[in-house]
Chain A
């Protein structure tokens, strides 16, 4: 029977890229044990890639950083790519971002030069077949657990995938139409208005941090008015910034306390660091600001050497913006659900 079963699917790693890790919405409720949250750097992109393959938003994606891997599809599969545009190709032919793509058995997914952003998300219909550790699929690199064997992908790894039960009828209809043997890109894509608002040199909104008042007036003004360049030493733990040196108006001893994604802390060097997904749970540097959650996606997709511009906002606005973002995701979820359930 010419039926696509969708079971026992796997993807083989031909070359691993710079840093490919399995990530989801993160590992919560264990910060008091000193366990970091991990999770996708660009969580909205991760969620949208999942939606585009019929998954729920909390499914794990492969996070691909700057230099992409080469992945061999041992079976036919429905995938989607979101986030940074790292020039994705199937068997050397460019494919589009932000839409469902049917990948026939025996195809190789590879990447070229980074056109925009830093992190791409690869979702596969049904998700990856890996165990959850402490309720999350995310990879905790330093403690070596979660994700794929607690580490980044290596050559010859094989990623097993689940069966995509939800959209199996759609996948089968593609298969029966005979298009199972070549790449098919959906002719639709989400309204760009509903996608994260990336910018090469983005404006990043913040609220004042607990130690804002301890910083000199010159430092406060610098944060508000000057550009800060993302340093090449940035990674999943935090983005190091170069710009005017920030300093306290007089020395103060700061006791270690909990920190979070978006905390802008200033070590003795005067160069601020914005904490991101793999940040430690506690820190003892003065915190001048907190980047609002709604701006995490444009923040983490800012490449080294590009500038970010800080802009102050209020907590009420931050909540409002997050709520609007939640509404956009819900709209996307409903629209994509309708599209994926239409007959081909």
Chain B
């Protein structure tokens, strides 16, 4: 079942979805398997055989009634901004081989790209595409840049990239076509961690520029843990 909270990407719609997901977390129903927030929707996965009193009632109706009663409560809940997560990034060099391309695209210096990218606070609208991959809202038009014409066959884990008006971080090494401007030593995804994804929909995010030296130090201490 797909719940639609609006037509356009907006902070208001996003906060409403987060508030509803939090409400659902506390008031779930036997047979609801999981739910996935996206830009304007919350998708509910359900097991029909476990809903509806052993077949006496239509599972969709039962689920619908439950969700509608939660939606009614939503009116009285003030939207809460998510937690702030800081992501250290070493920009440029071998970590961000496309930083100069983004700068040249706007005829500005690489330093200006870094300043603009790290000044902004971003919102994690959803996680998708790959485990732990955040779809971030809030990229400045001043550093938006089209994807690469030919995608790389392998983008290293931790790479921070730009594609159009989106910016994001690759949690695992995958093929990808985003312009890479830097890399974080932070692990965004680990299947032994709970939750496995560091970032969750609803989080606020800020990129913190660090030197290559600091990057190496953080990566070393990560491996020691």
Kindly supply a per-residue 1/0 record for chain B positions 129-140, scoring 1 wherever the CB is within 8 Å of any chain A CB and 0 otherwise.
Answer: 111110100000
Given contacts A256-B135, A323-B55, A29 and B126 within 8 Å (CB-CB): no
B162: interface (CB < 8 Å)? no
Residues of chain B in range 179-193 having any CB-CB distance to chain A below 8 Å: 189, 191
Using a CB–CB distance below 8 Å, which chain A residues touch chain B?
Answer: 28-36, 133-134, 142-143, 145-146, 210, 255-258, 260, 280-282, 315-316, 319, 322-323, 326
Between-chain CB contacts (< 8 Å), 21 pairs:
A30-B196, A31-B36, A32-B201, A33-B127, A33-B131, A33-B200, A34-B130, A35-B191, A35-B196, A134-B196, A142-B174, A146-B191, A210-B2, A255-B40, A256-B135, A258-B43, A281-B127, A282-B126, A282-B128, A319-B59, A323-B48
How many residue-residue contacts, CB under 8 A, span A and B?
A: 105
Given contacts A34-B131, A319-B48, A323-B48, whether A257 and B40 have CB atoms under 8 Å apart is: yes
Interface pair A280/B128, CB less than 8 Å apart? yes
Q: Are B133 and A34 in contact (CB under 8 A)?
A: yes
Q: How far is the CA of A134 from the CA of B197 in the complex (A)?
A: 12
- CB closest residue in chain A, given B6: A255
Min CB distance, B12 to chain A, in Å? 15
Q: Identify A34's interface contact among B34, B35, B129, CB under 8 A.
A: B129
The answer to whether B219 has its CB under 8 Å from any CB of chain A is: no
B129 touches A143 (CB 8 A): no
**In the complex, which residue of chain A has the Cβ closest to the Cβ of B2?**
A210
The number of chain B residues with a CB under 8 A from chain A is 38
Assess the B60–A315 pair: CB atoms within 8 A: yes
- Top 3 nearest A-B pairs (CB, nearest first) are A282-B128, A258-B43, A33-B197
Contact across chains for A257 and B49 when beta carbons are under 8 A apart? no
Q: Chain B residues near A36 (CB, 8 Å)?
A: 131
* Minimum Cβ distance to chain B for residue A181 (Å): 43
Residue interface mask B104-115, A partner, CB < 8 A = 1: 000000000000
Of all chain A residues, the one with the shortest Cβ separation from B129 is A280
What mask results when residues 47 to 65 of chain B are scored 1 for a CB within 8 Å of chain A, else 0?
0110000010011100000
- For B180-222 the 0/1 string (1 means CB < 8 A from A) is 0000000001010001110011000000000000000000000
Q: Which residue of A lies closest to B135 (CB)?
A: A256
Q: Does B172 contact A (CB under 8 A)?
A: yes
Q: How far is the CA of A146 from the CA of B131 in the complex (A)?
A: 14
